[in-house]
């Protein structure tokens, strides 16, 4: 009876013991994996801290990549490491650590001065199939070379006789090669090749290097956007400085203007230049293109226009002079259109000239008139070919003039239909009939355009001039 009990107990306890032993070993394995995971996490954390420190240094992105190369060197016990990026199917060094020997330069000073070494290495471009690293581009496979001095793929390097062991890993992102890491010379055992363990370690580190490259790209993009924001901020400040801070307070006249940009920086502008106590020059301009280049062109045109005011003769000569200066100082593909109204209250006359700009539209006692003198855009033609006609008319009480940029007439709706000059003229006429202040009239026109268009794609500027007849 006792024997049966012992047998039964053994049958029960032995499987339980086996289960307990299994779970014990399983627990030990999980604990080991957890320790390895924690170690790797600490390693990555330290690595990122070094990367961040390098990024914040004087060398910026290059400093961060040098820090990544030092990390790889320490983890693999390599004397020298270089990190490459693949761009336009060529490898270019972006980080280096140690006296890296895989360089074509024969200047021995390079091997004692890290900065000079990197500058020389950075200028090199490695094409597919060119030497050892060029072969990595083609094969996209890791490779360990026990003795590089005996490998003909390294014959192109001046100091190939002193090369030790070399190992390289392609950096792959989503199956695409984006760079490579190359380590040279076993620091632990000089003269001995890298071990398989060191080679495996380099393979594991490729993920960290890829992480660094991703972070560098993000950082570079942020830096680029910050630079762009700074440039745009400067351009916006410049643009605002180009616009008059106040409208002319002229007896018998009401003058108002407004501009709104399609992008961050406006290529349109308007200005008022007082020639003398009786003559006022009203200018509206539209530079080709958009953004900062267009803003700089408007700045030049405005500066030239104001500099010529003291020696003003006729409106036609004025346009010729501005054209001459712009043609001399700008590229052939840069130009600006201008519309100019010269108001003379001594005789109630207005003279209009244009250089490739939109028409002048007038409203007087219920009648609409369009004025379109000939004239080419400024900056395109040399003096001998640039001609500008002008049109002169009386400017009596009740007359309203509209100058505008083509961003208004060429506004598109969802069906790609233009607002058009005819519709703009009709809106202007209705606004004049409704009356009110020139500002109210102007904003009624702008609101009509805004309601029509699907999205503003061009700068829009309008100038209204009214003869009120009130002293």
Domain residue spans of the chain: 45-222, 242-467
Q: How far apart are the first and last CA of the chain?
A: 133
Strand order, beta sheet including 400-404: 253-260, 460-467, 400-404, 360-364, 367-371
Give the CATH superfamily of 242-467: PPM-type phosphatase domain (3.60.40.10)
Q: How many CA atoms lie within 13 A of 278 on its CB side?
A: 7
Establish whether domains 45-222 and 242-467 are of one fold.
no
pTM: 0.55
Largest CA distance in the chain: 138
Instruction: For the chain, 471 residues long, give each residue's pLDDT as a single digit of tens.
Output: 566 556 565 555 556 555 455 555 555 555 555 444 444 545 444 554 545 554 444 455 677 788 888 888 888 989 999 999 998 899 999 888 888 888 876 555 444 555 667 778 888 899 999 989 999 999 999 999 999 888 888 888 876 667 789 999 999 988 889 999 999 987 777 778 899 999 999 988 888 788 777 766 665 666 566 665 665 666 666 666 667 777 787 777 888 998 887 766 667 888 998 888 889 999 998 887 666 677 778 778 888 888 887 788 889 999 998 888 888 877 666 788 999 999 988 888 899 999 999 999 999 888 999 999 999 888 888 888 888 999 999 888 889 999 999 989 999 999 889 999 999 999 999 999 988 888 889 889 999 999 999 888 888 899 999 888 764
DSSP state of 67: H
Angstrom distances, CA of residue 423 to CA of 282, 323, 410, 418, 448: 24, 32, 11, 9, 10
Query: What is the rounded CA–CA span in Å between residue 16 and residue 28?
Result: 18
CATH of domain 45-222: 3.30.450.40
């Amino acid at each position: 009876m006792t024997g049966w009990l012992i047998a039964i107990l053994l049958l029960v306890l032995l499987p339980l013991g086996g289960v307990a032993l299994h779970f014990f070993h399983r627990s030990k394995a999980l604990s080991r994996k957890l320790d390895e995971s924690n170690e790797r996490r600490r390693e990555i954390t330290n690595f990122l801290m070094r990367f961040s420190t390098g990024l914040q240094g004087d060398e910026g992105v290059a400093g961060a990549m040098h820090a990544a190369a030092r990390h790889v060197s320490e983890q693999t016990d390599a004397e020298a490491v270089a990190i490459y990026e693949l761009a336009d199917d060529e490898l270019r060094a972006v980080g280096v650590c140690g006296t890296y020997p895989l360089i074509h330069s024969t200047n021995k000073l390079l091997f004692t001065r890290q900065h000079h070494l990197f500058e020389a290495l950075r200028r090199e471009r490695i094409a597919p199939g060119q030497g050892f690293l060029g072969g990595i581009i083609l094969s996209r496979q890791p490779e360990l070379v026990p003795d590089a001095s005996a490998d003909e793929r390294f014959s192109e390097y001046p100091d190939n006789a002193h090369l030790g062991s070399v190992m390289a890993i392609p950096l792959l992102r989503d199956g695409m090669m984006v760079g490579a890491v190359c380590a040279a010379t076993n620091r632990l055992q000089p003269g001995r090749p890298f071990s398989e363990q060191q080679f495996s370690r380099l393979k594991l580190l490729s993920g960290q290097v890829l992480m660094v490259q991703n972070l560098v790209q993000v950082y570079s993009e942020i830096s680029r956007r910050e630079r762009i924001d700074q440039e745009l901020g400067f351009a916006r400040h410049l643009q605002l400085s180009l616009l008059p801070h106040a409208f002319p307070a002229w007896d018998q006249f009401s003058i108002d203007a407004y501009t709104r940009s399609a992008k961050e920086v406006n290529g349109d502008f308007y200005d008022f230049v007082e020639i003398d106590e009786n003559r006022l020059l009203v200018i509206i301009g539209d530079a080709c293109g958009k953004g900062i280049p267009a803003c700089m062109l408007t700045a030049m045109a405005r500066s030239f226009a104001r500099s010529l005011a003291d020696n003003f003769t006729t409106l036609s000569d004025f346009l010729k002079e501005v054209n001459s200066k712009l043609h001399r100082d700008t590229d052939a593909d840069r130009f600006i259109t201008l519309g100019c109204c010269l108001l003379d209250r001594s005789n109630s006359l207005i003279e209009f000239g244009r250089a490739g700009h939109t028409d002048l539209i007038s409203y007087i006692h219920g009648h609409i008139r369009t004025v379109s003198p000939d004239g080419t855009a400024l900056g395109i033609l040399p003096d001998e070919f640039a001609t500008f006609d002008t049109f002169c008319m009386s400017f009596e009480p009740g007359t309203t003039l509209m100058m505008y940029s083509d961003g208004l007439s060429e506004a598109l709706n969802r069906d790609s239909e233009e607002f058009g000059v005819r519709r703009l003229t009709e809106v202007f006429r209705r606004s004049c009939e409704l009356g009110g202040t020139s500002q109210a009239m102007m904003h009624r026109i702008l609101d009509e355009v805004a309601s029509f268009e699907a999205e503003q794609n061009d700068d829009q500027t309008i100038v209204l001039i009214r003869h009120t007849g009130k002293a």
